[in-house]
Amino acid sequence: MSPQVFYRKWRPQTLAEVVGQEQVTQTLGNALTVGRVAHAYLFCGPRGTGKTSTGRILAKAVNCVTNGKGEPCNTCSICQAITEGRALDVIEIDAASNRGIDEIRDLRERVNYAPSQARYKVYIMDEVHMLTKEASNALLKTLEEPPPYIIFILATTEAHKVLPTILSRCQRFDFRRISQADIVSKLSHICSAEGIHIDSEGLRLMAKVSTGSLRDAENLLEQLTAYYGGDIELRQIQAMLGITGDWRAKELAKNIMNNDISAGIATINSINSDGLDLKQFNRELVEYLRELLLIKTGSNEAVDLTAEDIADLRDLATKVSLPQILKAVKLFGQLELSFNSSLASSTLPLELALVDCVLPTEEEKEGVITQNEYEFRQPAKADPPPIPIKPEPANVPTPAPEVTITPPQPGSEIEQLRLNWRQVIEQAPQDTKRTAAVAILRSAGVKPVAFEDDTVVLAFKYPLHKENMEKPENQQVAEKIVSNFLGHSCHVRCVYQPENNHLVKAALKMGAQIIDVEEK
């Protein structure tokens, strides 16, 4: 194996060798062929995607003695000098460390000197977004009308920070993250040439953790060969990366979906006891939950897994609801910031997210249905009804409303209102959104329970809300909102329903609906 580091040894030397950027290399190749090379280019994109390498190839192509158009020959004196980094007329500038106005003024003076050997003097300026505003403004005039022998190639990972006046003076090319398949292909080629043996699963894992950066993948390969030699196994790659392996993420995901807090906390603490990176494990867990979410929504083609893994995910997906998966993805996906704080080495963020994921929200406690599909679930065994106690005659309470319950009819208007109550309020006409009626309807204690004779019955958990809604101005707003959603005119009737009857609660949890309320 060569003593030169891989990312330098295997740097592309022609446009055809640039990996995963066909939209860029094709355009530049055509421009070189017809001799229409611009005076300024801006290469944007994530790190390790080939921006600087493409800039060097372009510098060789415009100065190549043998070809002059199209791909560089890489054999003439100019091409070899640029490849080895000793060409006087190709100047690479790191804008992060040369970001002041004095450095740019010096550059403006030097561009007036003609190239000493090559046809063009090429300035490759990396991380151009790091220039100060004053330095960027000083560069504008030179960038707009440089001498005919000058070519500027600007590179940046954050194009949004570059001044619009600079953007408008350059031809912009956006470099994409390199696909995992392209990275695996390149790593496989390097391993074959260097005599390194890694199985396909190991190469896929390396490509996955490099997140679209070929340079990161090549550096990881360099590190692995330095530690393990020429024969590298999947478990060694996982150990180097601090990866726990899929089975731990699967185990915790199943604990979450089964609402098993104790088993989930045991899994988290076993990972911590083994000295594994909790931040890295959380990334694995979020990726596994994402794959579960994709399988649940039927997006199998977006999941890059084996048939066995997809079958396992599909089996788990049939046992859980979509909102349950979505809740887990959101909670654990937000932990990245927690691991960047003083809690980085603590299991607390994972444990809190686990408990939050399992415990029901206030909406779930109120019986609000958030699932896309309507499901009937068997309730837990109901407690026996309490033994009635004969009240004193002087303190006879007002009897609770008698409620008649029936299973909901699929597709009925009341079912639509119940399933989409939040959407009903969010889609309220613009002139109603700042009214007191909307604030009352948004509260957790209000829900539609019946629809009879073009009248929607709204049940209120609190009597104060009911009284306020019965005011003419508020009732008119409520009728307007409901009519807007249903598409036809309807009225609203308010009833007080505290839901203190355990039989009513049990029926509502099963998905039943209140179709009639008799107030006494």
pLDDT of residue 283: 85
How far apart (Å, rounded) are the C-alpha atoms in residues 487 and 467? 27
Q: Are 448 and 421 in contact (CB under 8 A)?
A: yes
pLDDT in tens, 8-55: 889 999 999 999 999 999 999 999 998 899 999 999 999 999 999 999
DSSP label at residue 122 = E
pLDDT of residue 19: 92
Q: How many helices (H) and strands (E) does the chain have?
A: 25, 12
pLDDT of residue 362: 53
pLDDT in tens, 33-43: 988 999 999 99
pLDDT greater than 70 at residue 513: no
Most confident of 266-280, 337-351, 503-517: 266-280
pLDDT of residue 378: 36
Long-range contacts, stretch 481-485, CB < 8 angstroms, 24+ apart: 481/424, 481/425, 481/428, 481/429, 481/432, 481/437, 481/438, 481/441, 482/417, 482/424, 482/448, 482/456, 484/427, 484/428, 484/429, 485/416, 485/417, 485/420, 485/423, 485/424, 485/427
pLDDT greater than 80 at residue 421: yes
How far apart (Å, rounded) are the C-alpha atoms in residues 88 and 81? 9
How far apart (Å, rounded) are the C-alpha atoms in residues 312 and 199? 23
- The values of phi and psi at residue 82, to 5°, are -70, -40
pTM of the model: 0.59
Pick the CATH number of 247-358 from 1.10.530.10, 1.10.3720.10, 1.20.272.10, 3.30.565.10: 1.20.272.10
CATH class of 413-505: alpha beta
pLDDT in tens, 212-256: 899 999 999 999 998 888 888 888 888 887 765 557 788 888 888
Q: CB 103: neighbour CB atoms within 10 A?
A: 17
Same fold, 180-241 and 247-358: no
DSSP label at residue 11 = -
Beta bridge partners of 41: 153, 171
Pick the CATH number of 180-241 from 1.10.3720.10, 3.20.20.70, 1.10.8.60, 1.50.10.20: 1.10.8.60
pLDDT of residue 506: 54
Pick the CATH number of 6-174 from 3.30.450.20, 3.40.50.1360, 3.40.50.300, 3.30.56.10: 3.40.50.300
Domain limits, the chain: 6-174, 180-241, 247-358, 413-505
Assign 152 a pLDDT band (cuts: 50, 70, 90): very high
pLDDT greater than 80 at residue 66: yes
Assign 473 a pLDDT band (cuts: 50, 70, 90): confident
pLDDT greater than 90 at residue 151: yes
